[in-house]
Amino acid sequence: MPIATSSDKIDLSSEKKTEELACKFSKKLKLGNIVFFYGEMGIGKTTFIRYLINQFQKDNKSEITEITSPTFNLLNEYQINQIKINHYDLFRLKSVEEIKNLDIFEDNMNTITLIEWPQIIKEKPKNLIELTFKYEKDHETRSVQINGLNL
């Protein structure tokens, strides 16, 4: 039974809830999926991605590694047995030309691609899943909405 559809908001008010959702989300991702992460700075996008990648590592009996935001180097790559995960952070990019130089969407059928700050990308790729993180009435309550995947 799905726990979320494209119109549901999922409560992420605690780090435990973020970890649980990342675990469920990891079970649904497939090679070739591209995931856009929207939300303001500090809302939990990278924390979610850390739990997501660490879950892939646990499931594949790989070493659990530190997962950091690739804000300054734009890309962190993780090879987890047969799974390659590319984690991009496009926050510092100013033009579409800079995206073309990264070859984000080249040969991605053997990769899971995670992209923070994807707003600069004008053409949405196939196999796209979008996660939009938001603060609710206060900064203590956070939620995420998922489009393109039922959990």
List, for residues 68-85, the tens digit of each pLDDT value.
Answer: 989 888 999 999 999 999
For the cut 60, the answer to whether the pLDDT of residue 5 exceeds it is no
The reply to whether the predicted model has a pTM over 0.85 is: yes
pLDDT at 71: 83
pLDDT at 7: 53
Distance CA 149, CA 7 (A): 11
* More confident of the two residues 20 and 104: 20
pLDDT at 3: 40
CA dist list (Å): 96 to 18, 74, 99, 118, 131: 31, 14, 5, 11, 21
pLDDT at 24: 96
What's the angle, vertex CA 59, arms to CA 109 and CA 66, rounded to 5?
85
pLDDT at 1: 28
pLDDT at 94: 86
User: 10 Å Cβ neighbour count for 97?
Assistant: 8
Parallel, antiparallel or unpaired: strands 9-11 and 111-116: unpaired
